[in-house]
Amino acid sequence: MIGRITGTLIEKNPPTICVDVNGIGYEIDVPMSTMYDLPELGAKVSLHTHLSIREDAHVLYGFAKASERSAFKTLIKVSGIGPKTALGILSGLSVDDLAAAIQAQDVALLTRAPGIGKKTAERMILELRDKFQGDAISSTAPTSDRSDILNALLALGYNNTEANKAIKKVAADVSVSEGIRLALQVLSGR
């Protein structure tokens, strides 16, 4: 397998780029999040990669962050989600947002990704809720406390993005009740 590519960026044709490695040009499909982080043409680039081998093609997928590649590998294990769909999901959602949507069972947010309908979103939530647990939340805090705070804010009517931004501003070592109080203060602008 090809796990990493380092070379000179010679083409950008979203979602495909070409990286020259010692005279060989590797075409690599990347999510838009990675595309935005790429340097100018002619600059050195290093990507985490995943090689997908099908009967009719060998396709190399590249990611700026190892967490994106890990999420991609996890997504393609879900029935009904292939590499192109997984790439689309990661183009529209960061890994943290994806994990938060799965933990919050936010079908509406997941269906905004291209190629994801309600049934596929529900299947993703069912199959991935244990695999993405805590990824959207600070890893320094106990996952259950952060999840409880997130669920409380969602129950109060805040959307996923607002709730996660507020939680990130709360110290990691607070209790659930204190965390909810502090997150509500952040959300109210105090």
- Rounded to an integer, the average pLDDT of 46-71 is 93
- Rounded to an integer, the average pLDDT of 109-134 is 84
- Position 115, amino acid: G
Q: What percent of the chain has pLDDT over 90?
A: 44
Name the CATH topology of 4-63. OB fold (Dihydrolipoamide Acetyltransferase, E2P) (2.40.50)
More confident position, 47 or 153: 47
**CATH, range 66-128:** 1.10.150.20
Cis amide leading into 14 (omega within 30): no
d(CA 15, CA 28): 8
| Start-end of CATH 1.10.8 domains in the chain | 143-188
| Start-end of CATH 1.10.150.20 domains in the chain | 66-128
Per-residue pLDDT at 59 exceeds 90:
yes
| Start-end of CATH 2.40.50.140 domains in the chain | 4-63
Closest by Cα among 79, 67, 64, 58 to 1: 58
- Rounded to an integer, the average pLDDT of 143-165 is 76
CATH class of 143-188: mainly alpha
Going by pLDDT thresholds of 50, 70 and 90, the confidence category of residue 142 is very low
d(CA 180, CA 78): 33
Q: For position 148, what pLDDT does the model report?
A: 77
**Any idea which of 86-95, 128-137, 138-147, 169-178 has the lowest mean pLDDT?**
138-147
Q: For position 138, what pLDDT does the model report?
A: 34
pLDDT in tens, 33-54: 999 999 999 999 999 999 999 8
Q: In sequence order, what DSSP letters do the residues of 91-136 get, joined into one string? A: HHS-HHHHHHHHHTT-HHHHTTSTT--HHHHHHHHHHHTTTSTTTT
